[in-house]
Structure 1
Amino acid sequence: MTNDLDDLFERLRLAKAPAEIEALQDGIWQLWLTTGDQQLDKHLEEGIRALSAGDYTQAISLFTHLIEAQPSFAEGWNKRATAYYLRGEYRASLLDVTETLRREPRHFGALAGWATMLRMLGDQRGSLHVLRRLERLCPNLPGLPEQIRNLEDELE
């Protein structure tokens, strides 16, 4: 899986067309959303359904089970970070984003979420730093150059 992931990330870094970028990100998500354990994959799916239904407490519970069963699985941390974020628990979300990035430093979803939370919390400089990290992964991500420019303008 690592070689496939490395290849997809290299292609993502070079991609210019929005449709190509989206397709590559989708391919990466497909790899990220597999635990390698059928039972844990079911927990992940249930958690995603709970998240979509707005049942953040249930989603957090399911993702916590997943994290306890397989702590090295970055996407369990990322999904729980998302549930905490949607529930307005930014501190808990930021802690889980940190754990996600410890396991998968290239996690563009976690980086984008981190940048958004930092900006919401008034840390424009921190948000810009994270967006520049995201830019190294995918320089042509639609909307990213504008976000960076806007933050740079705010900080001048």
Structure 2
Amino acid sequence: MSAMRFFVILILTCSAVFALSERPGDPLLAAEPSPQTETASVTTPKQRLDGFFAELKKERDEEKAREVADRIRLEWQDSGSATVNLLMQWANKAIADDKHPVALDILDQVIVLAPNYVEGWNRRATLHYQMGNYRKSMSDINRVLAIEPRHFGALAGMAAMLTAAGKDELAMRAWQQFLDIYPSDRKAQEQLGELAEKLAGSRT
């Protein structure tokens, strides 16, 4: 059985299991909702993200800004689908075990199942980069930014690849976009400063 066919069968099986476990009449789901669940339902994921990004933009304390950035990453990680979330866990495990082709097959299926799930594209972009597939990585980063232009992780990845390719002006623009979203990130500030000095030196 091919790896692709195996994953399709596995996904369909998981979908059926989760569909059964999430039936409205299931007594396990009829329990009192936790305060955390009630709070989460007050706002939509987009509203929560918008609030976090507004907070990130104005926060000048590096440590506090990092905490906000971590909350944004948690929002991105949740696809809203139990099946997709499970596949992402498997992909991460395969990457940790250095089984890159397996992880790539799983992430391909994630993107088929949830084409607007930004972290599926971002994780595959990172994997392509680790595998030396730089053109494919950049293509996936562009998809990430088409879905979520504020994805500072994707912008950092883009800037790093542009710098490695000697495209310093484009890399500088990517870091500027990053800092417009996440202004207190020290490493990004340093990268932008180094590129600015390099470009200034090349013009004299």
TM-score interval w.r.t. the shorter chain? over 0.9
Amino acid at match of 2:104: I
Q: Secondary structure at the residue paired with 1:64? A: helix
Check if 1:63 corresponds to 2:107.
yes
Given that 1:81 and 1:92 are in contact with CA atoms closer than 8 Å, whether structure 2 keeps it comes out as: yes
Kindly report the root-mean-square deviation, in angstroms, between the aligned alpha carbons of the 2 structures.
Answer: 0.9
Alpha-carbon distance between aligned partners in 1 of 2:194 and 2:96, rounded to the nearest angstrom: 31
Alpha-carbon distance between aligned partners in 2 of 1:46 and 1:143, rounded to the nearest angstrom: 30
Alpha-carbon distance between aligned partners in 2 of 1:136 and 1:123, rounded to the nearest angstrom: 20
How far did residue 58 of structure 1 move? Answer: 1.5
Instruction: Name 1:53's counterpart in structure 2.
Output: 97
Instruction: Name 2:118's counterpart in structure 1.
Output: 74
How far did residue 69 of structure 1 move? Answer: 0.6
**Counterpart among 182, 187, 201 of residue 143 in structure 1:** 187
Amino acid at match of 2:140: D
CA displacement, residues 102-125 of structure 1 (integer Å, 9 cap, x when unaligned): 001100110000000110111111
Q: Secondary structure at the residue paired with 2:186? A: coil
Amino acid at match of 1:92: K
Alpha-carbon distance between aligned partners in 2 of 1:53 and 1:141, rounded to the nearest angstrom: 30
Amino acid at match of 1:96: D
**Counterpart among 122, 137, 154 of residue 93 in structure 1:** 137
Structure having greater relative contact order (Cα 8 Å, sep ≥ 6) = 1
Q: Which structure 1 residue ranges, 4+ long, deviate > 6 Å from structure 2?
A: none
Alpha-carbon distance between aligned partners in 2 of 1:115 and 1:52, rounded to the nearest angstrom: 25
**Counterpart among 10, 32, 41 of residue 85 in structure 2:** 41
Check if 1:22 corresponds to 2:66.
yes
Amino acid at match of 2:80: G
Check if 1:120 corresponds to 2:145.
no
Amino acid at match of 1:124: D
How far did residue 48 of structure 1 move? Answer: 1.5
Amino acid at match of 1:152: A
Given that 1:8 and 1:28 are in contact with CA atoms closer than 8 Å, whether structure 2 keeps it comes out as: yes
Alpha-carbon distance between aligned partners in 2 of 1:61 and 1:84, rounded to the nearest angstrom: 12
Instruction: Name 2:54's counterpart in structure 1.
Output: 10
> Normalising by the residue count of structure 2, what TM-score does the alignment of the two structures yield?
0.74
Aligned residues: 156
Given that 1:12 and 1:137 are in contact with CA atoms closer than 8 Å, whether structure 2 keeps it comes out as: yes
Gaps of 5+ in 1: none
Alpha-carbon distance between aligned partners in 1 of 2:59 and 2:138, rounded to the nearest angstrom: 29
Gaps of 5+ in 2: 1-44
> Normalising by the residue count of structure 1, what TM-score does the alignment of the two structures yield?
0.97
CA displacement, residues 59-115 of structure 1 (integer Å, 9 cap, x when unaligned): 211111000011011110000000000011100000000001100110011000000
Alpha-carbon distance between aligned partners in 2 of 1:91 and 1:131, rounded to the nearest angstrom: 19
CA displacement, residues 116-149 of structure 1 (integer Å, 9 cap, x when unaligned): 0110111111100100000110111122222111
